Structure 1
Amino acid sequence: MASQAAEVLRLLTVKGETLAVAESLTGGLVAAAITAAPGASKAFRGSVTSYATEVKRDVLGVDATLLKQRGAVDPQVAAQMAAGVRKVLGADWGIATTGVAGPESQDGQPVGTVFIAVDGPSAEVGGGFGGGKVAALRLNGGRTEIRMESVRSVLGLLLEELEHEHMGNERAQDTEQNGGN
């Protein structure tokens, strides 16, 4: 996890981009992993631990009807959390975790149901926010294992997106240098 966080920060710093985090079930563990890495202040804007549903709604701007109909453990909620924290904290990238760590099920979802999301520049449509990437996880183990695996997974998803965007930029530069061929 420490190496994942360090690599995320390295890629963000190279690109001059920033990150914000919205967490529910992980309760600040994602932010802790990121800030444990040296140089985090160059890229990390901050985090919102939106453990309560009303914080997701009132601070992060997650749609109230969505929360009422589907509950907080939902892929669209994760996507809106990532987009919301990105907007609220003025970051280039936003990531989010929401799910059920246990010991009981929540919102009709079994323990180990987790949704993670990334929202970033490549997700923008017409300069807006939203439309990022969401992944559904079904995790096994106890509460601690589920929370730690959620942290690893959301950092991994962000790394994939950062590397994908980085590769896309390199290809575009290569094409320009080769006369557009």
Structure 2
Amino acid sequence: MLPLLRRMCNIHIHTRRKNPFLSICNGYANESIPSRLASPPPVQVGFTESAGRGVFASRRIGAGELIHTAKPIVSHPSLSSLHSVCYFCLKKLQFKNQTEASNVPFCSDECREESKIFYETEKQADWSAFHEYCRTQGLKYPLLVKRLACMIISGASTPETFDILQPATLSPGMILL
């Protein structure tokens, strides 16, 4: 059991994720593990009574130091970057995409293909009122919920995939009334 845990702690995966976009990661990816990264990440998952689960530094972290990367479970561009990043991987595009309002940009055919299942479901509804509400209210997380719902409806993901996002128990401090 200990060797398995040690291997799991040594996993470092590189992706093309950039800020300030929205994503939730599961810590796993189908990519090769770089051999030059042999030490465990300088973070640990902990629990606080007031906020629940969180990620905390386990040592001093230098500016610009890579501390963790993972393939996201779900991601969605912010409304302000909707036409300047890839709609799937969130990679910044060379030139701002001047497409029709109903189209979204992809950086590659691979990203277009990867998103095809849930994007076809997304296109079935008119999201303009939803996007406008999010924009006027300054909301960003509902965009992740939209993507998540479309992924489940389309069969791209199962509802069980997202169980990790829900704590097993909710303490009174975690519930806002």
Please indicate, yes or no, whether the TM-score normalized by the shorter chain is above 0.5. Answer: no
Task: Provide the TM-score with structure 1 as the length reference.
Answer: 0.32
Q: Which structure dedicates a bigger proportion of its chain to strand?
A: 1
Task: Provide the TM-score with structure 2 as the length reference.
Answer: 0.33
Q: Rg larger in 1 or in 2?
A: 2
